[in-house]
C-alpha cells in the first residue's frame, strides 16, 4: 500500500495524528493548523491503510456545512464517495437513528421536527393551557429552561425543585410541553439528542449493535459538545470503540448555549488511553497576527496549553484605529477597504467582524455611501422565513394531521374566515379531549360545535388538506409542493402583500419549488416528502443570494469561526461592547469573550485592523468607552496606531441615517433639492423599491441617471424617469 498520498504534505504532528494506531485520541488543533485536513486524512488512513470498512466509521460535526465539507473532501481524497459511511451533524445522526428505530424510541413513524420558532409557539399554548400570566411567565424563559434541561439530559421528573415556585412552574411547563409534543409526534432539537441517548440506554441490544458497527468514531469541534452530546458519545463508545476528538479549547465560544469546554478536558478520564496530539503549526496568519492572538489568549486560565507558531514572515503590524465615533470608525474601515481594492485585491478577501449584529447598520451605511458592495452573513435563514414555513406547514399536515404547530400556522393562512375565537375554541376542545387540533376541528364540525359560518370555513380547511393528501399519493415532490403553494392560495395570498415584501416572498416560494424540483431522495425508508421536510428542519439552508458578486463580508465574530480572510477588520473593540458588558461579572464568561477575540484575530491571514469608537450611540444615548482590555493584552511591538492623516475628516453630510424620513405614503418630497437629486423626489441614501429590481438604495446622481444599489441584483444605473418609490 502506497501511503504517500495520505501522508505527504503533512507535518510531523499531523502525520502522527493521521497514522496513530487504533484507539482513543484527542487532537488539539489550533486555529489554522489544518484540522479538517487531519480529520479527513485520518479517515482515509483508516479506510485505505487499516482496511477499515467505510461502514465502520462514524464522523460527527456540528454544522451541516462542516458535514458537507468533510464529505466533499473525503470524496476528493479517496476518489470516490465512500457510500454507507455515516457523516453528519449530531442532530442529523440522532434523527437518523430515531427514524430507524422509531418504535424503540416510542415515537410515531412520521414524527416531525420542531424548530425553535415552532417550539416557542407551542410553549405559548402550553402557558395558556396552564393559565400562566404572560407578564410573569415569559414563554421565552420557559423555552430556555426546557432546552437547557434537555441539553443537560434531564427529564422533568428528575429535576429537583426544592419547593421553589419558579422552578416548580418551569417543571410543570416542561412536563406539559413534553406531553403536547408526544401527542403531536413532535420532536425539538434537544429532544432529538435526548431521545437518541435514551434509545441506547433503554435498548442494550441496539446499543451493542451500533457499538459493533462503529468501532471508529470521529468528532469535530469537540470543544462545542454539550452534556448530552458528550454522554451520547460516551455511551456509544462503551469503552470499546476508538473515539477521535478534534477540537480547540481556545475556540470554545458557545458556552452560553450549553457547550461544555470541560468536555475536552475530561476526555482523558472518560476515554482511557487517549493519545494526545497538538497541532500548533499555523498555516494561515503572519507571525505578527499570530503572536497577537497568542498574547491575548495567554491571559486565560486552565487552558490545555497550545502555542501556535508559524514559519511565515512577520508581516505587517496589527493596526489600531481610535475612531472619534462609530461613524468615523466605519468611514475609516471603508477607506482602508477602498485602498485595498485599489491595490488589486478582491473585496471578498476582506471581512468586517463585530461583536453584535446591531453594529452592522452603521457599517452598511458607510459602505453604501461609497458604493462598496457588501454581503451580510447571518440573519434569517431560508427555511425559517414566514412564507416558506407556511408552505411547509401544509406539506407537514399532509403526512401528519396531528402536527398542531403546522395546523395553527396555516388554519387561517391564507385567511379563510377562521378567526382567533374559532381557533381558541378548537384549541380548548383539543386540550379537554387530549387530542390533536385536527381531530378537535373535525369533531366540532360534525357535532355542530361551531357557528355555521365557522363550521363551513373549518370544514373547507379540513377538506383542502385531505384533498392535498389524496392527490399527493402518486405525485412527485415538486408537484406536491406546487399544490401546497398554489392550490392552497398561499401564493396568491403573499402576492397580495404590497411592496417589496410580497415580491421577495413570491421569489422565496419559487425558490422552494426549485429546491423541491432538484431534490434527490436518498432514503428508501421514507417518502421523498418526508425526507425533504426532515432535511428542511435540520438544515436551515444558509445558501442565499449574490454569490457571484464580489463583495465585502460582514458578520459577527461567532459566525466567523472556521473562516479565514486575507484582510480582517475587528470593529467596536471597546470595553462594554467587546468584551460585552453582560459578560463582565463572571470570570468564566469573560474568558469566553477572550476566546472570541482570539477567534477574531486568528481569522486574519495578512492584515488585521482593530478599531474602536471613543463615543458611540447605543440605545439612543451617547456612550463613551475605552479601548478593550484585549487590545491592551497585545504587546506594543505588534501594534501600530493609526493616526488621522488630516485633522479634519470629511464631514458626513448625507446618508440613509441622517436624512429625514419621508412621512406619509407620498413619493414626492416637495422642494427638496437634495444633493443633486434634482426633481426626482429622491435623495442620496434614499431607500426605494422598484417593480422588477426590488428594494434598493440611491447611491449617485449623474445627469439624468441615478445609480442604485439593489438588495438582490446589485448596483444598477437607471434613468431619472424610472419607476422608483421611496420606502
CB of 598 to DNA, least distance (A): 14
Of 309 and 657, the one with the shorter C-beta distance to DNA is 657
Q: Does 657 bind DNA (CB under 7 A)?
A: yes
Task: Spell out the residues 6+ positions from residue 335 whose beta carbon is closer than 8 angstroms to its own.
Answer: none
Taking CB under 7 A as the criterion, the residue among 106, 209, 257, 517 binding DNA is 257
Hey, what's the cell of 557? Answer: 465574530
Is residue 221 annotated as part of the catalytic site, yes or no?
yes
Taking CB under 7 A as the criterion, the residue among 33, 142, 285, 583 binding DNA is 583
Among 188, 221, 329, 387, the active-site one is 221
Of 90 and 321, the one with the shorter C-beta distance to DNA is 90
DSSP string, 121-141: HHHHHHHHHTT--TTTS-HHH
Q: Does 62 bind DNA (CB under 7 A)?
A: yes
Q: Three-state SS for 208?
A: helix
Is residue 603 annotated as part of the catalytic site, yes or no?
yes
DSSP string, 448-505: T-S-HHHHHHHHHHHHHHHHHHHHHTTS-HHHHHHHHHHTTSHHHHHHHS-HHHHHHH
Is residue 413 annotated as part of the catalytic site, yes or no?
no
Taking CB under 7 A as the criterion, the residue among 381, 479, 672, 716 binding DNA is 381
Q: At what angle do helices 227-237 and 189-202 cross, to 10 degrees?
A: 30
Of 302 and 378, the one with the shorter C-beta distance to DNA is 378
Q: Does 660 bind DNA (CB under 7 A)?
A: no
- Write the DSSP symbol of residue 236: H
Contact 347, 551 (CB under 8 A): yes
CB of 256 to DNA, least distance (A): 4
Long-range contacts from 144-150, C-beta under 8 angstroms, 24+ separation: 145/170, 145/173, 145/174, 146/170, 146/173, 146/174, 146/177, 146/190, 147/188, 147/189, 147/190, 147/258, 148/258, 149/174, 150/188, 150/190, 150/191, 150/193, 150/194, 150/228
- Write the DSSP symbol of residue 679: T
The region of 33-41, 73-81, 581-589, 688-696 touching DNA under the rule CB under 7 A is 581-589
Among 25, 251, 286, 327, the active-site one is 251
Using CB under 7 A as the criterion, what x/- string covers residues 220-249 for binding DNA?
-x--x-------------------------
Q: Round to whole Å and give the CA distance between 268 and 572.
A: 39
- Write the DSSP symbol of residue 73: H
Among 15, 35, 42, 71, the active-site one is 35
Taking CB under 7 A as the criterion, the residue among 593, 601, 631, 681 binding DNA is 593
CB of 658 to DNA, least distance (A): 9
Is residue 240 annotated as part of the catalytic site, yes or no?
no
For 75, list phi and psi in degrees, rounded to 5: -60, -45
Taking CB under 7 A as the criterion, the residue among 619, 645, 670, 692 binding DNA is 619
Is residue 702 annotated as part of the catalytic site, yes or no?
no
Using CB under 7 A as the criterion, what x/- string covers residues 262-301 for binding DNA?
----------------------------------------
Of 94 and 243, the one with the shorter C-beta distance to DNA is 94
Hey, what's the cell of 506? Answer: 413570491
Of residues 88-147, which lie at the interface with DNA (CB under 7 A)?
89, 91-92, 116, 134
C-alpha distances (whole Å) from 513 to each of 238, 472, 544, 711, 713 are 44, 15, 15, 22, 21
Is residue 251 annotated as part of the catalytic site, yes or no?
yes
Taking CB under 7 A as the criterion, the residue among 5, 273, 302, 417 binding DNA is 417
Of 60 and 322, the one with the shorter C-beta distance to DNA is 60
The region of 102-110, 251-259, 459-467, 646-654 touching DNA under the rule CB under 7 A is 251-259
Place of cell 479527513: 40
Q: Does 628 bind DNA (CB under 7 A)?
A: no
Cα Rg of the chain, angstroms: 28
Contact 281, 26 (CB under 8 A): no
Residue in 124, 93, 116 with CA at minimum distance from that of residue 188:
116
Residue in 507, 461, 511, 512 with CA at minimum distance from that of residue 487:
461
Q: Does 356 bind DNA (CB under 7 A)?
A: yes
Q: Does 582 bind DNA (CB under 7 A)?
A: yes
Q: Round to whole Å and give the CA distance between 438 and 401.
A: 6
Q: Does 548 bind DNA (CB under 7 A)?
A: no
Q: Three-state SS for 255?
A: helix
Q: Which residues bind DNA (CB under 7 A)?
A: 62-65, 89, 91-92, 116, 134, 189, 221, 224, 254, 256-259, 355-358, 361, 378, 381, 412, 415, 417-419, 538-540, 542, 555-556, 558-559, 580, 582-583, 589, 593, 617, 619-620, 657
As annotated, the active-site residues are: 35-36, 220-221, 251, 603
Amino acid at each position: 500500500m502506497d501511503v504517500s498520498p495520505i501522508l505527504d504534505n503533512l507535518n510531523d504532528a499531523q502525520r502522527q495524528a493521521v497514522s496513530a494506531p487504533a484507539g482513543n485520541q484527542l487532537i488539539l488543533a489550533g486555529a489554522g493548523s489544518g484540522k479538517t485536513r487531519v480529520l479527513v486524512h485520518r479517515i482515509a488512513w483508516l479506510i485505505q491503510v487499516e482496511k477499515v470498512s467505510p461502514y465502520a466509521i462514524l464522523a460527527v460535526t456540528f454544522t451541516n456545512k462542516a458535514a458537507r465539507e468533510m464529505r466533499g473532501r473525503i470524496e476528493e481524497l479517496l476518489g470516490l464517495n465512500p457510500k454507507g459511511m455515516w457523516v453528519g451533524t449530531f442532530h442529523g445522526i440522532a434523527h437518523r437513528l430515531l427514524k430507524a428505530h422509531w418504535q424503540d424510541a416510542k415515537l410515531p413513524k412520521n414524527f416531525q421536527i420542531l424548530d425553535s420558532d415552532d417550539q416557542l409557539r407551542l410553549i405559548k399554548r402550553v402557558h395558556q393551557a396552564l393559565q400562566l400570566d404572560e407578564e410573569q411567565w415569559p414563554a421565552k424563559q420557559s423555552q430556555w429552561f426546557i432546552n437547557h434541561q434537555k441539553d443537560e439530559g434531564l427529564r422533568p421528573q428528575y429535576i429537583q425543585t426544592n419547593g421553589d415556585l419558579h422552578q416548580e412552574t418551569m417543571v410543570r411547563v416542561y412536563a406539559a410541553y413534553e406531553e403536547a409534543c408526544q401527542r403531536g409526534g413532535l420532536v425539538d432539537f434537544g429532544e432529538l439528542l435526548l431521545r437518541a441517548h435514551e434509545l441506547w440506554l433503554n435498548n442494550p441490544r441496539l446499543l451493542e449493535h451500533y457499538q459493533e458497527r462503529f468501532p471508529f468514531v470521529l468528532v469535530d469541534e469537540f470543544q462545542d459538545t454539550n452534556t448530552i452530546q458528550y454522554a451520547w458519545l460516551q455511551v456509544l463508545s462503551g469503552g470499546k470503540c476508538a473515539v477521535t476528538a478534534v477540537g480547540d479549547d481556545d475556540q470554545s465560544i458557545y458556552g452560553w448555549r450549553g457547550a461544555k469546554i470541560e468536555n475536552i478536558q475530561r476526555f482523558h478520564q472518560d476515554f482511557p488511553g487517549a493519545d494526545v496530539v497538538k497541532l500548533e503549526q499555523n498555516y494561515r496568519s503572519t507571525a505578527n497576527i499570530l503572536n497577537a492572538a497568542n498574547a491575548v489568549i495567554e491571559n486565560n486560565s486552565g487552558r490545555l496549553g497550545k502555542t501556535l507558531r508559524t514559519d511565515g514572515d512577520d508581516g505587517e503590524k496589527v493596526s489600531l484605529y481610535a475612531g472619534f465615533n462609530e461613524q468615523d470608525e466605519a468611514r475609516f474601515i471603508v477607506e482602508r477597504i477602498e485602498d485595498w481594492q485599489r491595490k488589486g485585491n478582491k473585496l471578498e478577501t476582506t471581512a468586517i467582524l463585530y461583536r453584535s449584529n446591531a453594529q452592522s447598520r452603521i457599517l452598511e451605511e458607510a459602505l453604501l455611501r461609497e458604493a462598496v458592495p457588501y454581503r451580510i452573513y447571518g440573519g434569517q435563514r431560508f427555511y425559517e422565513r414566514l412564507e416558506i414555513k407556511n408552505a411547509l406547514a401544509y406539506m407537514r399536515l399532509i403526512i401528519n394531521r396531528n402536527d398542531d404547530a403546522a395546523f395553527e400556522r396555516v388554519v387561517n393562512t391564507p385567511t379563510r374566515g377562521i378567526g382567533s375565537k374559532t381557533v381558541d375554541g378548537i384549541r380548548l376542545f383539543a386540550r379537554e379531549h387530549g387530542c390533536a387540533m385536527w381531530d378537535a376541528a373535525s369533531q366540532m364540525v360534525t357535532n355542530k360545535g361551531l357557528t355555521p359560518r365557522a363550521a363551513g370555513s373549518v370544514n373547507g380547511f379540513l377538506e383542502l388538506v385531505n384533498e392535498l393528501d389524496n392527490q399527493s399519493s402518486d405525485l412527485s415532490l415538486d408537484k406536491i409542493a406546487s399544490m401546497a403553494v398554489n392550490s392552497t392560495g398561499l401564493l396568491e395570498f403573499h402576492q397580495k402583500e404590497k411592496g417589496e415584501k410580497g415580491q421577495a416572498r413570491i421569489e422565496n416560494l419559487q425558490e422552494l419549488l426549485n429546491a423541491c424540483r432538484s431534490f434527490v431522495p436518498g432514503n428508501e425508508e421514507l417518502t421523498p416528502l418526508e425526507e425533504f421536510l426532515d432535511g428542511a428542519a435540520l438544515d436551515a439552508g444558509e445558501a442565499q443570494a449574490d454569490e457571484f458578486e464580489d463583495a465585502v463580508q460582514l458578520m459577527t465574530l461567532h459566525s466567523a469561526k472556521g473562516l479565514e480572510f486575507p484582510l480582517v477588520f475587528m470593529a467596536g473593540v471597546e470595553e462594554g461592547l467587546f468584551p460585552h458588558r453582560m459578560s463582565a461579572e463572571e470570570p468564566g464568561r469573560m474568558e469566553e469573550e477572550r476566546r472570541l477575540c482570539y477567534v477574531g484575530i486568528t481569522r486574519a491571514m495578512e492584515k488585521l485592523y482593530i478599531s474602536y469608537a471613543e463615543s458611540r450611540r447605543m440605545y439612543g444615548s451617547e456612550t463613551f468607552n475605552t479601548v478593550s482590555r484585549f487590545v491592551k493584552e497585545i504587546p506594543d511591538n505588534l501594534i501600530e496606531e493609526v493616526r488621522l492623516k488630516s485633522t479634519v475628516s470629511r464631514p458626513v453630510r448625507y446618508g440613509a441615517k441622517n436624512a429625514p424620513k419621508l412621512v406619509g405614503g407620498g413619493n414626492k418630497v416637495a422642494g427638496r433639492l437634495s444633493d443633486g437629486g434634482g426633481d426626482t423626489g429622491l435623495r442620496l441614501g434614499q431607500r426605494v423599491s422598484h417593480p422588477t429590481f426590488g428594494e434598493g438604495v440611491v447611491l449617485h446622481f449623474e445627469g439624468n441617471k441615478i445609480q442604485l444599489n439593489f438588495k438582490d441584483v446589485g448596483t444598477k444605473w437607471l434613468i431619472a424617469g424610472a419607476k422608483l418609490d421611496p420606502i
